[in-house]
Amino acid sequence: MLSRLVPATAMAVGLALGAMPTAASAQPGAAQDRVVPSGAMSRPHPADGVLAANFNQDLGSLDYHELQAARATWIRGFFTMPDADKGDVAATTTIHTILDASRRNYGTVLSLKFPLAQTEMPAPGSAAMAAELARVDKVLPVVMGRVDILTIGNEPFNESRPQDRTEALNNFYETVAEHVIAYRRAHCASNCKTQLYMGALNRLDLPANRTPVVERWLQFVNATPEIQGVDIHPHVPSREAVQPFLDYVLPRLRPDQKFLATEFSLVWYWQRHMTDPIAPEFAQRYGFAADAKVWQVIEAAIAHPFPQQEWNDFLSSSPWYESQKHFLRDQMTAFRATGRLAVAGYGFRQDTVMEQNWGPDKVPWLLNSVFAPYTVQPAPNGQAGRGYAWIDDFRDVQRPADDQHGAEK
């Protein structure tokens, strides 16, 4: 770890957060028909250009005070399908949390993640396919008609073996989609709350990734009336790299279909700057060596979270970061300008995966987060520290109809 002249000291804060609990404090397995808790919101804006708080696999860290502080009225996470074999699906942290948020009238997006990067893609009719569909059948009765959007797949082209990114991938996901559609038709046909999307496509800014398999993926989405659209994940190395996603996907959808962007960020741009030297004025003010690198300062913050002002000063003094601090605002403007955005999701909270095994080659997902509990000390009111710059724009781009829910400053 980087040695510094003036080490940061973590602040011990034990203030209670009040009446609205974190998701982790709620009781799993609660009855599905329980009364909506006090403090629940009125219905959020419909899925038309909204911005959600994205938690990925870490929905258990959801805190309603943090959502309120950011004026978030939609949430998104994913469920890893092998977890369906571990017992009552409704009692898993992910499903319990997203259903609790739904009962509190938050908009909800749930992606079904099939982690197949280490195993052969199941073929339709095989025992492996039957096992995957059995997992799907454990999840659907719990979430269908309760979540607003169910996305079939998370990142199939990352969560598969390279040799399986052929028609084998199409066959698998089309079989799952048809199974989900059949269930929805049989059990949630009349005014079903849950819309279906397919997801998600990555790195379409690279021509090499616009393959016949991706083309067939979009053809299936287009040709299937029950599918409302497709999810994209524009994690990119520059602002300009997002537009190729839209240019490729939107012409291939039906006019009545929309797109999700449940994850988007400049993470590959951040990564290019991990070995940059830090600003001399920051180094001098906070006691870092003059030749310290960006990744080393982040390492120090992980070891001993910084006061909020020090974290803000670190990033605001980094021209590569300061110049992009309105990426969230500007990208939401671009997404909405298409008239086709349903829901976008932005990384809401740092998690343990982001800070583990930190080093110069670690992908710096933690720089995306609206809340930064792993690098920033808690606020005096006990709320998690914040990522620099994001929360104001996150609030400001919420739909006007959502402003009635207010925000904690």
pLDDT tens digits, residue range 73-89? 999 999 999 999 999 99
State the Cα–Cα distance between residues 88 and 137, nearest whole angstrom.
12
pTM: 0.90
Q: What percent of the chain has pLDDT over 70?
A: 87
**Mean model confidence pLDDT for the chain:** 90
User: SS3 for 333?
Assistant: helix
Average pLDDT over residues 268-286: 98
- Residue 142 CA to its chain's centroid (Å): 21
The pLDDT of residue 45: 77
Query: For 46-267+328-353+381-403, CATH number?
Result: 3.20.20.80
pLDDT tens-digit readout, 216-239: 999 999 999 999 999 999 999 999
pLDDT tens-digit readout, 49-66: 999 999 999 999 999 999
Pick from 214, 213, 218: which is nearest to 254 by CA?
218
Write out the two tokens for 14: 């034990």
For the chain, the structural domain boundaries read 46-267+328-353+381-403
The pLDDT of residue 315: 98
State the Cα–Cα distance between residues 151 and 206, nearest whole angstrom.
24
Average pLDDT over residues 265-272: 98
Helix, strand, coil shares, percent, the chain, to 5: 40, 15, 45
Write out the two tokens for 310: 């020090």
**Residue 36: pLDDT over 90:** no
pLDDT band at residue 22 using 50, 70 and 90 as cut-offs: low
CB 343 within 8 A of CB 73: no
State the Cα–Cα distance between residues 11 and 377, nearest whole angstrom.
6
State the Cα–Cα distance between residues 334 and 404, nearest whole angstrom.
25
State the Cα–Cα distance between residues 66 and 71, nearest whole angstrom.
9
